[in-house]
């Protein structure tokens, strides 16, 4: 069993086992490999895999925020196979297969508390950092020629799951679809908690997004990028031929959690 501090250090959780900011992971077993072969939805597969390997009570992966979930999945592979991750890719410059190795425990990591302090002041107390972290973060912008304040916060795994279910319903049934509903408006809508200080539910948030000026949504996205924390999965792969390929650690693929195959990025 291995123990890790989450990038949130538990600041986002008002209750439950993740509040202490620590997770305990066991190594993957045959039954976990079995999960990797089941179903088509990678989000669900990864969640089931992680839930099974998280030690402790009520430690469902869907209760983790996305940034912590990403970190936990990385550490699950580290715990099971070690930090060294060898992979192959085909360089777009010379079309040759390249072998590379990265150390998964040395990827860039930004902790939530550090990000909050870098934006709101290095001298913030622990309490103020925790209060800020729980949000919402407020963006002042304009839409329809009027000033508006939008309060946002990261969606929990549970909310993201609801979004996935709703998207599947839309795609399958193609009925009951309201104007503007889809992946884009759901993605932003799932982050909006308040409009002009008034709480809004998911449905109302999606409708607000659908009718908001694109410039206002851009302001919202900028604020969300500024508040980014967690693991940076971006990779820049340099080839001897001089070509560099921008890609990312393929966390949501079954191959990432196996070693018996040539893994490609
Ligand atoms: Zn090359």
* Dist CA 255 CA 127 (whole Å): 41
- Coil/strand/helix, residue 94: coil
Considering the domain boundaries, does residue 264 fall inside one?
no
| Chain segment 127-154, per-residue pLDDT in tens | 999 999 999 999 999 999 999 999 999 9
What is the whole-number distance in angstroms between the Cα of residue 90 and the centre of ligand 1?
Answer: 8
Same domain flag for 27 and 105: yes
Comparing 173 with 29, which gets the higher pLDDT? Answer: 29
pTM over 0.75: yes
Considering the domain boundaries, does residue 260 fall inside one?
no
Considering the domain boundaries, does residue 237 fall inside one?
yes
Considering the domain boundaries, does residue 82 fall inside one?
yes
Average pLDDT over residues 223-245: 95
Instruction: Label residues 172-196 b or e (16+ Cβ within 10 Å = b).
Output: eeeeeeeeebeeebbebbbbbbbbe
Considering the domain boundaries, does residue 77 fall inside one?
yes
What is the whole-number distance in angstroms between the Cα of residue 104 and the centre of ligand 1?
Answer: 23
What is the whole-number distance in angstroms between the Cα of residue 226 and the centre of ligand 1?
Answer: 34
Calculate the average pLDDT of the chain: 92
Same domain flag for 139 and 81: no
Considering the domain boundaries, does residue 118 fall inside one?
no
What is the whole-number distance in angstroms between the Cα of residue 103 and the centre of ligand 1?
Answer: 22
**Domain with 155 in it:** 131-226
Number of domains in the chain: 2
| Chain segment 76-105, per-residue pLDDT in tens | 999 999 999 988 889 999 999 999 999 999
In the structure, ligand 1 is a single-atom ion and the residues with CB under 5 Å from it are 91, 93-94, 239, 241, 243
| Chain segment 159-184, per-residue pLDDT in tens | 888 888 888 888 777 667 777 888 89
Considering the domain boundaries, does residue 238 fall inside one?
yes
Of 142, 156, 138, 147, residue with least CA distance to 67: 156
Are the CB atoms for 216 and 142 separated by under 8 Å? yes
pLDDT at position 195, please?
98
Angle at 236 between CA 231 and CA 242, to 5 degrees: 170
Same domain flag for 200 and 100: no
Considering the domain boundaries, does residue 265 fall inside one?
no
pLDDT at position 156, please?
82
* Dist CA 87 CA 89 (whole Å): 7
| Chain segment 188-197, per-residue pLDDT in tens | 999 999 999 9
């Amino acid at each position: 069993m291995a123990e890790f501090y989450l990038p949130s250090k538990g600041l986002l959780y008002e209750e439950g086992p993740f509040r202490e900011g620590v997770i305990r992971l066991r190594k993957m077993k045959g039954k976990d490999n079995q999960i990797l072969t089941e179903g088509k939805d990678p989000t669900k597969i990864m969640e089931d895999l992680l839930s099974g390997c998280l030690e402790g009570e009520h430690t469902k992966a869907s209760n983790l925020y996305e940034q912590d979930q990403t970190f936990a999945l990385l550490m699950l592979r580290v715990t099971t196979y070690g930090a060294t991750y060898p992979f192959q890719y085909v360089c777009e410059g010379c079309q040759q297969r390249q072998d590379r190795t990265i150390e998964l425990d040395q990827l860039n990591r930004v902790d939530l508390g550090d990000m909050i302090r870098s934006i709101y002041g290095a001298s913030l107390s622990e309490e103020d950092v925790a209060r800020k972290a729980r949000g919402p973060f407020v963006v002042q912008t304009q839409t329809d020629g009027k000033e508006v304040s939008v309060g946002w916060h990261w969606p929990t795994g549970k909310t993201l799951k609801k979004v996935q279910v709703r998207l599947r319903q839309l795609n399958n049934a193609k009925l009951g679809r309201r104007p503007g509903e889809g992946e884009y408006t759901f993605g932003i809508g799932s982050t909006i908690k308040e409009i002009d200080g008034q709480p809004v539910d998911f449905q109302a948030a999606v409708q607000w997004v659908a009718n908001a000026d694109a410039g206002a949504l851009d302001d919202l996205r900028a604020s969300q990028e500024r508040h980014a924390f967690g693991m940076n999965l971006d990779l820049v792969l340099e080839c001897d031929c001089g070509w560099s390929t921008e890609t990312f650690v393929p966390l949501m693929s079954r191959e990432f959690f196996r070693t018996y195959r040539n893994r490609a990025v």
